Structure 1
């Protein structure tokens, strides 16, 4: 059982105990430049040292005692950066420093000033600091000030600053941007993260050495000279990021500077397992015992790839939050924000996990809120399920089915920016929105407000460029004459066409005379009129006031809105005629569940190499009502878009087209394009339906355009020769010895990497991305070439560990500098069997191999047979709970590590024997059972065919049911050719899906496209609230021929248990 609480909770024995939440009222002493302040409930406000002097002001700090949320509208007088991405933001006094991949900055209304990678402006004046002009030859990934504000440190991929060699790490004069000559810290590869104290500069990245001293990914430097601290030697190893990447994503010091938070993509720090995050004692310079097992337990669900991205520490040092992105919606470790206490030793559990359904790239914590930025469109509402809404294995991100719309009031709309309650991880009412493409990747909270950076130019509904400043001083002070909108909550999604109440509270010292409400369509700018139906010019509507003339009263206004996005504004007027000077604002959405958004697919050209800059892209578009138009865009990796005149610019631009058959529910489309340059391009195609709804995400396709580009080739020379695409004969070797694979890779231009894949398909042992070998490793391509490979040819080799018996799959591929990778057809492949000569593999079989959902206690009795030509020594059985990814261990517990249980043999060492295994299960779950026989030579069964079973072990859980009011009923007649199925499915835990079969009189089953053929095809119906105990469902078939049909309907709950028996009715379709 895995539970993360939204309130203080102590669970029963055998469960994870979560008995704490962030102690926001704690007290921590903070010392900065001689100024001591107290944070938490006893805080007295910001440090007086935060002055305006440019070179002496200390680094900006969050004001812990401020309980307000940030304003939702940013300032519009700050400088504009309009290209590239923003990677980090820092503040010293009244000066902002911005790092990223941009090339210029401009004052509002002014001409662009060339300033690459790092720029500064003044918060007070909103003007570019033209005196700060470092010339940097590469991107800056991180920028951090010294605590006294006299130095500025940067990290990135650069090699020179102002013509002076400064590789990857540098110290700058914060006034001019000039590099400080006395500081030298040369890293062997990209640096990505910084944290600075008065005595150390902590730097993380992808490097192996700093100043020639071995430091894998993490180092501490003297802040004056850059000399490596020899006593701080905590290497980060075992890269399991994308493509096996090993890097440090974020470094954060606690405010008392006693601990260093390391957010990283490795397996270990200082030789100890610390997946995802680790804490280091700054005084001891040692790894602390604090450890979470969350990533270890769940990486198998996401392909073994670590996607942790950002982190921040609360102002009172009671907790921290880490986020993840770019890996798909899969809680608890992908597309989530996770809060942890900073105290504890091993097996530290999260305080809460907040599912965001899409990437979270940045986080900043204040005393009031956890602010997050990214590419998400939804956050958990305050009433969402614990530990998160929705099904773990179903994606609700934009472009995945109905997205978060299918989760109803468990989620609220938040476009790329949002704020979380520090106690629960659910959404607060802060919803500025952003139009960023990749997302908001930089965020900094200070005493003055919140700075946010991403690759969009509109934030909070205002044009700000890449960076926006939500200035606390611009937030109106509370007034005695005040209005609030309490329902719906900010970002709520309501059913279009159904009535609901707008409501809130009104305050007026002279008594409330009326409350005026405006409902504006945010797309058209039109207002709801007095008839509550039509839309037109500005109009305020009088709400119903519960207690007229009272100084405090509630109010409400019933409305029914068509599908769209709306802004609600409310204003109180007192009996004395005085009106609320600041309108209460709330943004909501209405969505039509009876008219689903369209879906888009790009079918050609296939991803990869295209030899011409002019080509025709083709695809399909489907919609339940009809497709009316198409929208296309083309962009480069640096976020520059194809324009109408054929040029490329950092301005979002689209092209419109039509499907081949206008209004068809299933249509093809084509679009001819000429790209102005070769290189990497991404196309996005988005269908629009007849109601004007767009595909929630669209489809994308990546190409490398090159007239001369050819993917690299590989060949194997040992242990046997293999030149693709000609396959080599399988190779058999004796177990116990190593095998050396060797060969060549070549490219007409230059190679970038050579990678291999190796897995023992019999024992599950595999080579991970970081080179780790074992049964718990997630198989992935492992780079065997140098990181700086840049040659036309490369002779590669790899020597295995001593091989255990089994059948091995080996592959090799190469990637060139254009990004082209060896095609699947031309991979180097070998099948190697490690087998004792003259001794066949054994064979184990289970007596039961189906799925049993009727287990009513935490116990299984397993049985089967095993045979071998020499003798069966053992039968090993693995029981994996598919809900948690954990295996039953021999000691009776559950853990993520692969494990087997030994069965009892009736005749040990015989050539044929039966076996039994009674198992008391530690927890309920969806258990996958696999059995392997082992012979007297130690060889394991090479196949699990006939040796797998599934048991749904949920004692006391009821099967799902369909409520009686279901359509169709027996004998229903459908004129017009379509069969409509509707109803409601219920379960005591939650509904995962409803499926149906439509079978014609000839016994043929219909597939989702409406074609009849093989019987037994199940088609998924649409669920309005998947994962909830009760959900309506609907399905409308394509047009089918007139005749009689059998409709079979069944529901499946969150545990995978099916309704028993299924519902079956006969219907007739007429012309």
Structure 2
């Protein structure tokens, strides 16, 4: 899921300040534009992000002057104050000061996995929750007032299972997760919804038949022209055709979706550790839409497999595909990725990059890159940028905005500083990308 473009973010922020909700949507037929940066972001985190004191952060939405953060947590505090505030899986703060909004405290019964601005100035909130503040039917996917936390009851998809990811394109809301129904319609882990009512349209591309464990759609991202959607998860079929944990859909301006010819078996179950039912963790499409990068877990598997790797794929391929480049950690998980043009940021549990021949050790040519790395988009080689991040277990998302990148995780330190579970790295002070 891409972040929102700068124009929409500015409009939303202005609407909130004025108490308005009539913010216009991006043009029909387009997806939210990818964010391109001219430089690699600064390695010095902004000091004023709030401290999230337990659990993990999994979603962020930058509305300009105001930021919403979701995940699985219960305690937050202002970076410069000792007072601890109770916030159940979702909170808001001032980007300028880091002050946590005292009036915004919706009570969600489970974690938040995705946040997205709605065309009318509201916000879509997705996750594993079954109610919000005890409101009946407010489960898994809701539309919320970002100023008050009130639920918009006219949006009622009535999804019956967890929602992992959401994306707006072509005037429709694309939804992926572990559900089997939307209202009274069968929709298996993927659906295309009316963004106002939540009603599913006629498009029915089922993602099914996981080789092991629960079938699910975990992440997806669309090209800026709204014509393709890259989908990853735990499945072996998309629609009626075989697709091994990764697929590309062709989208239409009227909300249709069909599986196109792009295919690979390099992510099929059995190539990496059997401890995982699937090892694809995240995907991001480049700002120009020409390629995408997938990151994985899976334990060291060698250069002929894609375990514990980042790999670039070209979007325009309409048949059996192969990677443009691969970068291996040597046995540590990569769990999030963001492509900004200047760099491909990959984050997770890794110790190294450029470690093709390592097996839990630094092989020939390996470079230390603890917890986060920036890769060259053309070659996949690590850049010199190396702030370091406490590895933790997982970085859940790296989210670009026009001003920088957010890193959402379960770890406490970034660049040697205390930034528990939420870090923002600005474009200001960034440097030109240099391959190490």
For the aligned pair, the TM-score class normalised by the smaller chain equals 0.7 to 0.9
So what's the TM-score if we normalise by structure 1?
Answer: 0.37
Cα deviation per residue 1:302-359 (whole Å; 9 max; x = unaligned)? Answer: 449421110111000010011112x212242211111111111221111111112210
Are 2:284 and 1:344 aligned?
Answer: no
Distance, in Å, in 2 between the alignment partners of 1:477 and 1:142 is 30
Distance, in Å, in 2 between the alignment partners of 1:57 and 1:459 is 37
1:134 corresponding residue in structure 2 = 106
Distance, in Å, in 2 between the alignment partners of 1:252 and 1:207 is 19
1:224 to 184, 188, 196: 196
Are 2:222 and 1:261 aligned?
Answer: no
* Residues 57 and 464 (structure 1), Cα distance of their counterparts in 2 relative to 1, 3 Å cut: farther
**Structure 1 residue 88: deviation in Å?**
2.0
1:168 corresponding residue in structure 2 = 140
Distance, in Å, in 1 between the alignment partners of 2:60 and 2:243 is 28
1:81 corresponding residue in structure 2 = 52
1:295 to 263, 267, 275: 267
**Structure 1 residue 149: deviation in Å?**
7.0
2:367 corresponding residue in structure 1 = 412
Cα deviation per residue 1:56-103 (whole Å; 9 max; x = unaligned)? Answer: 598996542x32111111011221102101222222223222221111
For 1:137-216, list aligned pairs within 5 A.
137-146=109-118, 148=119, 150-165=121-136, 166-197=138-169, 199-216=171-188
For 1:546-945, list aligned pairs within 5 A.
none
1:935 corresponding residue in structure 2 = none
**Structure 1 residue 300: deviation in Å?**
4.1
Contact kept? 1:416, 1:434, Cα under 8 Å: yes
Gaps of 5+ in 2: 17-22, 27-31
Cα deviation per residue 1:569-597 (whole Å; 9 max; x = unaligned)? Answer: xxxxxxxxxxxxxxxxxxxxxxxxxxxxx
Cα deviation per residue 1:829-886 (whole Å; 9 max; x = unaligned)? Answer: xxxxxxxxxxxxxxxxxxxxxxxxxxxxxxxxxxxxxxxxxxxxxxxxxxxxxxxxxx
- SS of corresponding position for 1:320: strand
Are 2:332 and 1:365 aligned?
Answer: no
1:1027 corresponding residue in structure 2 = none
Larger radius of gyration: 1
- Of the structure 1 ranges 261-270 and 100-109, higher mean CA displacement relative to structure 2 is found in 100-109
Are 2:378 and 1:378 aligned?
Answer: no
Cα deviation per residue 1:689-736 (whole Å; 9 max; x = unaligned)? Answer: xxxxxxxxxxxxxxxxxxxxxxxxxxxxxxxxxxxxxxxxxxxxxxxx
Distance, in Å, in 1 between the alignment partners of 2:431 and 2:116 is 33
Distance, in Å, in 1 between the alignment partners of 2:326 and 2:430 is 33
Higher relative contact order, chain-length normalized (CA < 8 Å, sep 6+): 2
Distance, in Å, in 1 between the alignment partners of 2:227 and 2:370 is 36
2:243 corresponding residue in structure 1 = 274
Are 2:20 and 1:53 aligned?
Answer: no
Contact kept? 1:76, 1:462, Cα under 8 Å: no
Gaps of 5+ in 1: 1-29, 34-45, 381-387, 398-402, 479-485, 491-1071
- SS of corresponding position for 2:262: coil
2:84 corresponding residue in structure 1 = 112
1:95 corresponding residue in structure 2 = 66
Distance, in Å, in 1 between the alignment partners of 2:301 and 2:103 is 47
* Residues 431 and 271 (structure 1), Cα distance of their counterparts in 2 relative to 1, 3 Å cut: same
**Structure 1 residue 141: deviation in Å?**
1.8
Distance, in Å, in 2 between the alignment partners of 1:265 and 1:218 is 12
Distance, in Å, in 2 between the alignment partners of 1:58 and 1:446 is 18
- SS of corresponding position for 1:53: helix
1:396 to 359, 362, 383: 359
Contact kept? 2:9, 2:63, Cα under 8 Å: no
1:1050 corresponding residue in structure 2 = none
Distance, in Å, in 1 between the alignment partners of 2:73 and 2:183 is 29
* Residues 57 and 285 (structure 1), Cα distance of their counterparts in 2 relative to 1, 3 Å cut: closer
**Structure 1 residue 48: deviation in Å?**
8.7
Contact kept? 1:92, 1:149, Cα under 8 Å: no
2:96 corresponding residue in structure 1 = 124
- SS of corresponding position for 2:267: helix
Cα deviation per residue 1:962-991 (whole Å; 9 max; x = unaligned)? Answer: xxxxxxxxxxxxxxxxxxxxxxxxxxxxxx
- How large is the Cα RMSD of the aligned pairs? 2.6
Cα deviation per residue 1:227-285 (whole Å; 9 max; x = unaligned)? Answer: 111x2100010113xx5221111021211222112111100011111112111122142
- SS of corresponding position for 2:399: strand
2:20 corresponding residue in structure 1 = none
1:353 corresponding residue in structure 2 = 326
Distance, in Å, in 2 between the alignment partners of 1:57 and 1:432 is 38
Distance, in Å, in 2 between the alignment partners of 1:219 and 1:81 is 32
Distance, in Å, in 1 between the alignment partners of 2:24 and 2:65 is 8
So what's the TM-score if we normalise by structure 2?
Answer: 0.88
* Residues 128 and 178 (structure 1), Cα distance of their counterparts in 2 relative to 1, 3 Å cut: same
